[in-house]
Structure 1
Amino acid sequence: MIHKGRLSTLAGAMVVARRDFVAILWSRSFIFFLLGPLFPLFVGAMAGSIGAHVENAVDTPQIGLMMAGDDIDAMLTARHALEPALRDDLPDLVVVARLHPGEKADPRGALADKSINGGNLSAIISGTARAPVLTGTPGRLAAWQGPVALIAARATGHGPDVLPDVALAPTATSTAAQAHNRVLTAQGGQTLLFLLTMLLAGMVLSNLMEEKGNKVIEILAAAIPMESVFFGKLFAMLAISFVGIGVWAVSGAALSMLGWVHIPELVTPALGWPLFIALGVAYFAMAYLVLGSIFLAIGSMANSVREIQTLNMPVTMGQLMVFFFASYAMARPGSGIEIAAMVVPFSSPFAMLARAAMQEGLWPHLAALGWQALWVAIFVRGGAALFRKRVMKSGPQGTGQKRGLIAALMGKK
């Protein structure tokens, strides 16, 4: 039902967003807000441990075999025999092709074929067990030359003191090396998205708690739909966040040009840098709006700062668990875990940003952004309805007493 003289949801949201944006942008506390990223740097260092886990999971070296059947069987048997003593130093051997007499091996073609072993081959062993040829990227051939020679020596019945010569045939790149480098780009994108979201989303709580204390939220709720208040505050905080990110990006670029800060070089993502950056901005907006809508619902029902502090630790731990879940799913592309991470609205922006770095295809991202926008609307409307029911509802005697958040969660009347 539309009330005469009452602003629509969109118009009310724009009024609240403009008011909050201007008030925060010209406040003195905004200067301290811009200094905030200095502290999450410590969190970034701690998050590096899970990055190492993901890298190890994806970067397990797998070397293909393109040899005659007898040589392949001998190489596999030799590797199995050496595994107890050299478990961490031996690469995994994968049969790519058992060559028939007179058939010529094409290791370079096998390395470029993404359909072979899921595109996770780092090198190819061809030739014979007595004269193996190792084909792969130059960066790692030297490191694998010794283990391959040791396997070949065992396969031909020689001891470790008589190692055959392993010929090296370097290539420009391989699908495994490309996939590994894109994983690093995906990790960097996920970590940056997490740090920015964790740093910036908390502003919604403090802003709403302040306005609840001075009764501004009740005046707004009486003048415009509660959904307008929630949407307006979310978009205002999102705009403030983009201002802060812009300032930090310009400062980082300036420090990098002066040589004071080193920005690591990352491999071009699967969708290219322009589209990857655009999707990164979109996924940050969605992650911020999804999390901010939950924070709005929590802050609108809290009657004191103490209640907010009580739930601050569970909320922070929840953010960390979402990040770890998305990072874990990144190491298992195509699995049910990755699909679940892309579907769950809280982890979907992180999982989809990693997908943008590692896999081609634009339509899954369009669908994911629409899916995340739907959940933002659901959370905002649900939070507004909960606010009207739990907070704005008068007591049995019409005294206007409101229930606190902790009491509401515990079901107290």
Structure 2
Amino acid sequence: MSGFAEKLRCALVIARRDFVAVVFSKTFIFFLIGPAFPLVVGGLAGNIGAKVQQNVERPTIGLAMSAEDNRRMMAAREELDGRMAGGLPDMIELAAAAPGKAFDARSALADGNREVTAVVGGTLDGPTLTATADRARQWVGLVSNLAARARAEAPTAYPDVQVEEVNTSIAKVRTGQIYTAQGAQVLLFLLTMLLAGMVLSNLVEEKGNKIIEVLAAAIPMDALFMGKLFAMLAVSLVGIAVWGTAIGAIVLAGSESLPSLSAPAVGWPLFLVLGFLYFAMAYLLMGSLFLSIGGMAATVREVQTLSMPVSMFQLMVFFFSSYALTMPGTWVEWLSIIFPVSSPYAMLARAAQQPEVWPHVLALLWQAFWVVVIVRAGAQLFRRTVMKSGPARGKARRGVFARFRRKAY
């Protein structure tokens, strides 16, 4: 027990040292404001894209009936506008059809100066709709309704429909909980992918200036690895606290326009606690893997080379967990729960859909066990592949010194 306490004390010393070095550095400010730039660019691109899409896909129906029929169709359209979800397409009068002569609707649709999506000709008793297949299926009922409305000699009143609403249904609750589970998985993936990558380059600088050798000679290697993981986790939590505060202020300012998520099965307070714990476990699991890989990299270039397969691995874990969400109760879901790296994602989704609490206690213990296993294995690998360079250089130096003595004498 004293050995465990000593390792824990050493890990906390390393964690405090790395945490202070990162948080009180000038680059940490840029780390905090870094995610704001993609959000701003994404928001601007989304708004511009929505404006372009709205202008490009604004449909217009051209009227090519008689002058009186065109007027009545326009009046019927104005009367119906606002009663249908999404509004009605615009209508313009192309020309008044000559008596006994059909209007060339195909030429009107091909005319670049008119830019109409469909043409309605014929009469009110027998309207003709000329359009593409998808628009024809979409607007055939609308044209029929407008023609019937325009054909009436006196306006007919539209009856008010009485609506009886229910608060919810079991199907709606299940669907909402699935959306909550998906949103939680996406948020957990984004935070883990954004923050866990810092661990990759954690040891490169200290390996370059030989600090790691001094630390390894003073404390156990697994305690060193665990301390660095704790430090990076604490740094990540500071970043999440800052980002969460900023996003929370934005959400409160525009809460009326934001969609509401369905309450998870375990309730929001426990779900948030589990979300924090599963983020910590996901970060420690991925961080321990990244720390082991980064410990074997000798230069920053090697770390950059390793970043791509590491990111792909994270992406595959997320896709696997998302796929398991669509197959509840199958071996795929159980495999995602048992597999250590995907277990936090799967269990967080389970918390949104299942009210049982005891499986989360077992899952957290299982994930903590694998954190210890991976850290110890990474420390052993680092000691065998990297730290063995010290004795080798010592032997080389003794060999050179012996040859120098033989030559001297």
| TM-score in terms of structure 2 length | 0.63
Residue 196 (structure 1) aligned to one of 159, 172, 191: 191
Residue aligning to 1:32: 30
Q: Is the 8 A contact 1:252 1:261 kept in 2?
A: no
Write out per-residue CA displacement over residues 95-124 of structure 1, whole angstroms, 9 at most, x where no aligned residue.
Answer: xxxxxxxxxxxxxxxxxxxxxxxxxxxxxx
How big is the shift at 1:242?
Answer: 0.7
Instruction: Report the structure, 1 or 2, having the larger helix content.
Output: 2
Residue aligning to 1:309: 304
How big is the shift at 1:42?
Answer: 10
* Count of residue correspondences: 278
Q: Is the 8 A contact 1:205 1:296 kept in 2?
A: yes
Residue 22 (structure 1) aligned to one of 20, 23, 48: 20
Residue aligning to 2:251: 256
Residue aligning to 1:173: 168
1:9 equivalent to 2:7? Answer yes
**1:243 is paired with a residue of what secondary structure?**
helix
Q: Distance in 2 between matches of 1:374 and 1:284?
A: 16
Q: How does 1:154-173 map to 2 (within 5 A)?
A: 171-173=166-168
Residue aligning to 1:345: 340
Q: Distance in 1 between matches of 2:41 and 2:292?
A: 26
Q: Which runs of 5+ in 1 are unaligned?
A: 46-167, 402-413
Q: Is the 8 A contact 2:288 2:375 kept in 1?
A: yes
Read off the aligned partner of 1:37 and give its amino acid letter.
P
Q: Distance in 2 between matches of 1:327 and 1:399?
A: 52
Task: Return the index of the structure with the highest Cα Rg.
Answer: 2
**2:269 is paired with a residue of what secondary structure?**
helix
Write out per-residue CA displacement over residues 333-385 of structure 1, whole angstroms, 9 at most, x where no aligned residue.
Answer: 11110000001011000000000001110001000000000000000000000
Q: Which runs of 5+ in 2 are unaligned?
A: 44-162, 397-409
Q: For the structure 1 residues 278 and 366, does the alpha-carbon distance in structure 2 shift closer, same or farther, using more than 3 Å as the test?
A: same
How big is the shift at 1:172?
Answer: 3.5
Q: Distance in 2 between matches of 1:184 and 1:298?
A: 35
Residue aligning to 1:273: 268
Q: For the structure 1 residues 172 and 264, does the alpha-carbon distance in structure 2 shift closer, same or farther, using more than 3 Å as the test?
A: closer
Q: Distance in 1 between matches of 2:327 and 2:395?
A: 53
How big is the shift at 1:255?
Answer: 2.1
How big is the shift at 1:173?
Answer: 2.5
How big is the shift at 1:308?
Answer: 1.2
Residue 182 (structure 1) aligned to one of 162, 177, 186: 177
**1:27 is paired with a residue of what secondary structure?**
coil
Read off the aligned partner of 1:219 and give its amino acid letter.
V
Q: Is the 8 A contact 1:255 1:261 kept in 2?
A: no
Q: Distance in 1 between matches of 2:392 and 2:23?
A: 42
1:224 equivalent to 2:224? Answer no
Q: Distance in 2 between matches of 1:284 and 1:400?
A: 46
Write out per-residue CA displacement over residues 188-212 of structure 1, whole angstroms, 9 at most, x where no aligned residue.
Answer: 1111100000000011122222222
Moved over 6 A (4+): 42-45
Q: Distance in 2 between matches of 1:277 and 1:334?
A: 24
Q: Is the 8 A contact 1:181 1:266 kept in 2?
A: yes
| TM-score in terms of structure 1 length | 0.63
Residue 205 (structure 1) aligned to one of 196, 200, 215: 200
Q: Distance in 1 between matches of 2:40 and 2:181?
A: 20
Residue aligning to 1:151: none
1:372 equivalent to 2:351? Answer no
Q: CA RMSD in A?
A: 2.9
Is 7-16 or 26-35 further displaced after alignment? Answer: 7-16
Read off the aligned partner of 2:11 and give its amino acid letter.
A
Read off the aligned partner of 2:203 and give its amino acid letter.
L
Q: For the structure 1 residues 379 and 263, does the alpha-carbon distance in structure 2 shift closer, same or farther, using more than 3 Å as the test?
A: farther
Residue aligning to 1:356: 351
Q: For the structure 1 residues 37 and 264, does the alpha-carbon distance in structure 2 shift closer, same or farther, using more than 3 Å as the test?
A: farther
Q: Is the 8 A contact 1:293 1:379 kept in 2?
A: yes
Q: Is the 8 A contact 2:202 2:291 kept in 1?
A: no
Q: For the structure 1 residues 179 and 385, does the alpha-carbon distance in structure 2 shift closer, same or farther, using more than 3 Å as the test?
A: same
Q: Distance in 1 between matches of 2:13 and 2:383?
A: 20
Q: Distance in 1 between matches of 2:311 and 2:41?
A: 12
Read off the aligned partner of 1:27 and give its amino acid letter.
S
Q: Is the 8 A contact 1:7 1:224 kept in 2?
A: no
Q: Is the 8 A contact 1:40 1:195 kept in 2?
A: no
